[in-house]
Amino acid sequence: MNKKIIIIIGMSRSGTTVVSKFLESVPDTCVIFEPHIAWKINDFMNLFDSDRNLNKYSARWIKGIFYKFANNKNLIIEKSPINCLRPKLIYSAFPEAKIIYLNRDPIRCIYSNYQHSVKRSMFRFKAIKRKYLNLGDNKKFAPTNRLIFFKQLNIYNLPGFFVYSMRLLYYKIFKNTLPFGPKLDDFRKIIKKHGLIFYHCKVFVDSIRAKQIFQKLFSGRIQEFHMEEIFSDPNEIVRLFKFCSYNINIDIAEKLLKKLNQQNIKKINRKSDIDEEIINNLTRLDYYYSKK
């Protein structure tokens, strides 16, 4: 039986987790949170998160994993921020999908990713437990019911997965050059030559270019939303659910908004002392920043 699938796309730190948690309330729906290993199938020797076309076998494998995990649910909603750079990958696996594309103010998005790199948030054991072993905590918006990692792998990919994991740990622990979020080709050289702030600016600009490809590939089946509006306007939440073919009233949308910590939202939207440097780097990358 063919299932409907909606893919949530957006830069890391752009509200994809909150949106996916909101949409868990849609009836007959299975939400899959960041199945990175499945998307990496037959590509573990490549450390970068490069875009690629899947062969028929890999596409069938990913679709089979999602369908099996969804069981008897008819709607699958998947979110992996890392795929914001992979329009061809998504299209070759699910050409029939609808796309929810999340935007965020560029400066705040880049700064948030940069801060997570500085804090070395990537590949932490706590995150691994939550993401791949389904051993989450009780935080309100901590994703649950994840697709456990060994269900995303086949036996032929186990050696490659092991080598891939060890390389990531090596660059984090011994080289301190593992950035948070998507890994661009030659990310180590970019960071060494231009610095970490420039790197995250480049990831953002590359994601904007990839968005244009998403728009072409999924023309008529892609809808853009803004994190700032989703986090403040119940009408945008109503529009979000409507795009998923499920209608809610404004009262339900307001109840969902109340689940958000408004103090944290104010905190993450504050200006920082590196905002000007971010804007200068975006200019170097031929991106014109204009705050709405």
What DSSP string describes the chain?
A: ---EEEEEEE-TTSSHHHHHHHHTTSTTEEEEE--HHHHTTT-TT--S----PPPHHHHHHHHHHHHHHHTT-SEEEEE-GGGGG-HHHHHHH-TT-EEEEEE--HHHHHHHHHHHHHTT-TT-HHHHHHHHS------TTS--S---GGGS--GGGHHHHHHHHHHHHHHHHTS----SS---TTHHHHHHHH-HHHHHHHHHHHHHHHHHHHHHHTTTSEEEEEHHHHTT-HHHHHHHHHHTT----HHHHHHHHHTS-HHHHHHHTS--TTHHHHHHHHHHTT------
- 181 falls in which pLDDT band (50, 70, 90)? very high
Q: What per-residue confidence (pLDDT) applies to 132? A: 61
Which range marks the domain in which residue 279 is found?
4-284
Condensed to tens digits (0 to 9), the pLDDT of residues 15-58 reads 999 999 999 999 999 999 999 999 999 999 999 998 998 899 99
pLDDT at 124: 65
- The domain that holds 188 is classified in CATH as 3.40.50
Identify the pLDDT of residue 13: 94
Q: Which of 64, 97, 68 is nearest to 83 (CA)?
A: 97
Instruction: Report if residue 127 sits inside a domain.
Output: yes
Q: What is the pLDDT of residues 99-151, one digit of tens each?
A: 999 999 999 999 999 999 999 877 666 666 666 666 655 555 555 546 777 88
Does residue 290 sit within a domain? no
Q: How confident is the model at residue 179 (pLDDT cuts 50, 70, 90)?
A: very high
Q: What pLDDT is recorded for position 93? A: 95
pLDDT at 267: 84
Q: What is the pLDDT of residue 264?
A: 84
The mean-pLDDT minimum among 84-93, 131-140, 162-171, 216-225 falls in 131-140
Per residue in 202-260, pLDDT (tens digit) is 999 999 999 999 999 999 999 999 999 999 999 999 999 999 999 999 999 999 999 99
Is residue 165 in a domain? Answer: yes
Per the DSSP assignment, residues forming a β-bridge with 4 are 75
Query: Which of these, 174, 151, 260, 203, lies nearest to 12 by C-alpha position?
Result: 203
Over residues 163-167, mean pLDDT:
92
Q: Residues 274-292: pLDDT tens digits?
A: 999 999 999 999 987 666 5
- The reply to whether 292 falls in a domain is no
**Averaged confidence pLDDT in the chain:** 90
Q: Tell me whether residue 74 is in a domain.
A: yes
207 in a domain, yes or no? yes
Domain membership of residue 221 (yes or no) is yes
Question: What is the C-alpha R_g of the chain?
Answer: 19
Q: Is residue 291 one of the residues assigned to a domain?
A: no
Instruction: Check residue 262 and give its pLDDT.
Output: 84
Tally the domains of the chain: 1
